Amino acid sequence: MSVYNIIVFRALLALLLFSVQHIACAESSLDTINQELPSAEEIYSSYIEYNGGRANLAALNSLIARGRIEVEEAGSCTFKITRKQPNKFRQKVDYVSYTKETLSNGKQAWTVVSSPNREDKVVELVGDKLSDALANSSMNGPFIRLAGQYEKFHPEAFEDVRGKPAIRVEIDPSAGVYYDTVWLSTEHFQEVKLAYSNASDEAAEPIETEIYFSNFDKKAGVYYAKEIDYVVGGLPTRTIYIDRVRANVGVFDSYFEK
């Protein structure tokens, strides 16, 4: 399982900042017939407010998350992610027979593969892989990266996400984020679903990926989802469980160097 395909890390670290079956029979809790949609700026302001305000978000200097990934029909693995402002990042994924780390100091990035009785394999990332790693190294998450770009995201409708009320927001491609649509909870304005489409090559039909966020908690006044479910092409593929999050832990810059 390629680390680069685990976009969950971007979504999870949005809050540094989703059963995989849709509950089709759940009773709707959405009662918004006469309710007016908030503006893009109002939605963004609410998102910031529910995370303790701009000062609280700015005070989040580092975050360490530990958890596990359950992959459909392929077992599980554990991970640890460490992030530090403004753009330092290190993730470690423990597979059955080897460990893979990806780290970035904000300018360069590397992967390190370790296994028993073998020398570590270190690869410096270049090109698209470097661009992906650097994009992933930001402490800011999916929705917060839209700050000030109010003309580039548009509230479209109130909708249910697994039986709970949310606002569907469409994102303009020029905004420079990797997803097309986000659903924000009407309760706390955090991401409860993301969706995007891509194709393996130009000739292939786009495949839709849906990411569901649930079981929210707070750390240092900032929301994060403890469970993240992936549905790709209509089929469940994996679930990420966040077991522990620590905020504002002292981490030396050298930890993000190779």
- The Cα 164–Cα 153 span in angstroms is 22
Q: Strand pairing of 62-71 and 207-219?
A: unpaired
Domains and CATH numbers, the chain: 3-17+25-256 (2.50.20.10)
Give per-residue pLDDT as tens, 24-56: 223 333 445 557 899 999 988 988 888 888 888
Q: Is the pTM of this model over 0.95?
A: no
- Number of neighbouring beta carbons within 10 Å of residue 152: 16
Can you read off the two tokens belonging to residue 101? 């780390």
pLDDT in tens, the chain (258 residues): 333 333 344 334 333 332 222 222 233 334 455 578 999 999 889 888 888 888 887 788 898 999 999 988 778 899 999 999 888 999 999 998 999 999 999 999 999 999 998 999 999 999 989 988 887 777 766 677 787 888 999 999 999 999 999 999 999 988 877 789 999 999 989 899 999 987 556 657 888 999 999 999 988 888 889 999 999 999 999 999 999 999 899 999 999 998
Give tens-digit pLDDT for 108-143: 999 999 999 899 999 999 998 998 888 777 776 667
- Give me the pLDDT at residue 142, please: 64
